[in-house]
Amino acid sequence: MLSPQPLRNGETPSPHPRISAPHFHSTLSVQKLRRFNSLILLLRLLAFCFSLSSSIFMLTNSRGSDSPSWRDFDAFRYVFAANAIVAIYSLLEVAASAWEVLKSATIFPEVLQVWFDFGHDQIFAYLLLSAGSAATALVKTLKDRDTCRSFSAFCLQSDIAIALGFLGFLFLGFTTLLSGYRVVCFVINGSRFHL
């Protein structure tokens, strides 16, 4: 139902975006945009760090053949896969955001970039939440059984991996709000520049 927007590559913002606007306004807009993009970059960096840590904690949660391994449990495999996918996605998005902060240009055409970011942020936030919830329920049942009494280090490391995954979800959730806001800005003005 949205009216189609023309494809356009990200361009450097004009020093005089509105001829009638006074100079201090355009400077303020550029400053605001830079601060906004830096905030997105920071959130993506945090989401990357936490999801990478979560997947590494889960991957290394195995202590020989006489101890349980994360590979034996579907929910733990789900946590590893979800966090690894989000870590790779976040790393690419960190690179794209850093490029945008430095060069003031998007890598893909602008319309594609804002919708791509928002759509993927939303879906991956669902994925991380789903994996974290499933693994929490599994750990709860392991604690009710003898597993966690016999192998407390295994359960502790699982807990840490899950908690890190939830923190990753939290930062990705905040990023979703900001990338959603960028979509709104784009739909309103035909450009992500005008805040």
Residue list 78-117, contact with a second copy (CB under 8 A): none
**Whether the Cβ atoms of residue 147 and residue 155 lie closer than 8 Å to each other:** yes
- Residue 58 is which amino acid? M
C-alpha of 5 from chain center:
26
* Of the candidate residues 21, 28, 95, 137, the single one contacting a second copy (CB under 8 A): 137
Shorter beta-carbon distance to a second copy: residue 3 or 12: 3
**Whether the Cβ atoms of residue 179 and residue 114 lie closer than 8 Å to each other:** yes
For the purposes of burial, counting CB atoms within 10 Å of the CB of 20, is it exposed (0-12), middle (13-18) or buried (19 or more)? exposed
Q: How far apart are the first and last CA of the chain?
A: 23
* Of the candidate residues 46, 75, 111, 167, the single one contacting a second copy (CB under 8 A): 75
Local structure of 65: helix, strand or coil = coil
* By CB under 8 A, residue 18 contacts a second copy: no
- Which x/- pattern, by CB under 8 A, does the window 160-189 give for a second copy? --------------------xx-xx--xx-
* Of the candidate residues 5, 26, 30, 36, the single one contacting a second copy (CB under 8 A): 36
Give the interface with a second copy as residue ranges (CB under 8 A). Answer: 1-2, 32, 36, 74-75, 126, 129-138, 140-141, 180-181, 183-184, 187-188, 195
